[in-house]
Structure 1
Amino acid sequence: MAGEDAAVEWHEAREANLANWEERVALHEKAYGLEAYDDPTHLSDVVRHDLAALERFLPSLAGLDVCHLQCHIGTDTLSLARAGATVTGVDFSPEALAAAARLFERQAADATWVHSDVLEARAAVTGDFDLVYTSIGTICWLADLDRWAAQIAGLLRAGGLFYIRDGHPALYSLDENAEGLEIRYRYFPNGQAQQWDEETTYAGDGTLASTRTYEWPHPLSEVVNALIGAGLQILRLDEDTTLPWRFSDRMVEVPGGYAWPEDERDRVPSTFTVVARKPA
């Protein structure tokens, strides 16, 4: 059954997730519309949104050092570079990093790529950063947010900012196949992962052989408290109704992505955004 609890060890879950994400890369290279980046002014919709949210804290990324955690195939990383940043991309998938490097080479852009689990990022990455960035579909793959937040704090320079936008945990508790807004999955953690078996991915028409994945629900309080516990100051917390991917077939296309039908839109958040600072 999709989303059922699983008493799985972290290393086992991590290996299953890695096998799945390695296979996703080829599908995503075809589905992400990489040809759009041949226009040197093109930015991903995700980064365009996130830059606007960051603007009150960082009016420009020009000349800043930015670490992009869980960078996947590098479209958002390239967009950050085009916004003026010197970028370092971190991911646990060698296939994803190879695809990201190909994208950057095609666009004659520069980046540093680091093969590492995000939970080991501080030890793997050289230097420190003005901005640590992660966005959309990231922390559900991590079992330990305290350790995650500690990596972020360690990567930031004094006064540096952390930014995350991700799917809202309230959204993830909903049944994506129901005819209405019905809660199906856990909102709160209980020490166990949720097990999924799906042969498709959110982008691309092909199928996967490594279908099993494991995710962990993280309530909003856990995210915020992990960052506070790592010594970061929360500057901003926002929630929104629009997603950059279609969580449910019932979602409708709107400017900036997808949302629930209009008569349901104000009943549940679809994303959250946190901006935090490492004290000077």
Structure 2
Amino acid sequence: MTSGDVAIGWSEARDANLANWEDRVPLHEEAYGLDAYDDPAHLSQVVRDDLAALEPFAPSVAGLDVCHLQCHIGTDTVSLARAGARVTGVDFSPAALVAAARLARRAGVEATWVESDALDARAAVEGDFDLVYTSIGAICWLADLDRWAAQIAALLRDGGLFYIRDGHPMLYALDEDASGLQLRYPYLPNGSAVSWDDASTYAGDGTVAHTRTYEWPHPLSEIVNALIAAGLRILRLDESTLLPWRFSERMVPVAGGWAWPADERRIVPCTFTVVARKAD
């Protein structure tokens, strides 16, 4: 349930979101199917798809130093390590990082875990990276994309790559409960957050105690322009009809995830992907 636009400071919103994400950790450890990582060949489907998208620019991540921003409980970070990368996972949730470290030990991979907001990552993380990686469901939790992009640029070595695949901002403007494709939430920003009060999470059936969260709308133009302003060169921008989670009950299962019914699939994109490079 949403209560619409709210004028709220970053610190207050961040603290509310942190309490919510701390509650999510044990629920997601149950819901994410972590037993699959007992197979030493297992990679998350998210990372399998992302490695394929990265292949024209980085044929392999083996031997690369990779920083995964907003890594949550580390399933994708561990998958990148299994693909041969030297990984550093960054998240603002202490409970998530404990769970991520536990998963890495279980999977038998080496990883470094750093507690930090994505907006302060450069000061918190040691070293420079060949690839900074961000994936699904991440940047809606950040108020300031210029600051976010500046962290990415500062973390990258010259010539390094940035990769993001996330929910499309057009998707996030839709009413997930409507009987058709109907706009409900803001696509364009005005400095306010959108406030939510919801005890559920996107995975599993459990509920959280801290139900209030805050998100910020970021149109595609803002995302791309923030990266350009930070000194990154956009190499590729793609939009997809496929989503790795079920945004709406009306979505139908397809190979690799979820999509709108066939007659609506070409109307609204579900994800976007950006590959960018820091100048040499």
Q: Same fold (TM over 0.5)?
A: yes
Moved over 4 A (4+): none
For residues 91-150 of structure 1, the C-alpha deviation after alignment (integer angstroms, 9 at most, x for no partner) is: 000000000000011122110100001100000000000000000000000000000000
Distance 1:122 1:111 in 2: 18
Unaligned 5+ runs, structure 1 = none
Identity %: 76
C-alpha contact 1:3 1:185 (8 A) present in aligned 2: no
Within a 5 Å distance, the mapping from 1:38-187 to structure 2 comes to 38-187=38-187
For residues 168-197 of structure 1, the C-alpha deviation after alignment (integer angstroms, 9 at most, x for no partner) is: 000000000000000011000001000000
Distance 2:40 2:270 in 1: 31
Distance 2:108 2:255 in 1: 31
SS at match of 2:262: coil
Distance 1:271 1:262 in 2: 16
Unaligned 5+ runs, structure 2 = none
TM-score, normalization by structure 1: 0.99
Counterpart of 1:29 in structure 2 is: 29
What is the CA distance between 1:3 and its match in structure 2?
5.0
Counterpart of 1:240 in structure 2 is: 240
Counterpart of 2:267 in structure 1 is: 267
Q: Alignment RMSD, CA only? A: 0.6
1:9 equivalent in alignment to 2:9: yes
Q: In 2 relative to 1, CA 57–3 (structure 1 residues): closer, same or farther, beyond 3 Å?
A: farther
Which amino acid is the alignment partner of residue 31 of structure 2? A
C-alpha contact 1:251 1:261 (8 A) present in aligned 2: yes
Distance 1:238 1:9 in 2: 33
Distance 2:91 2:2 in 1: 26
TM-score, normalization by structure 2: 0.99
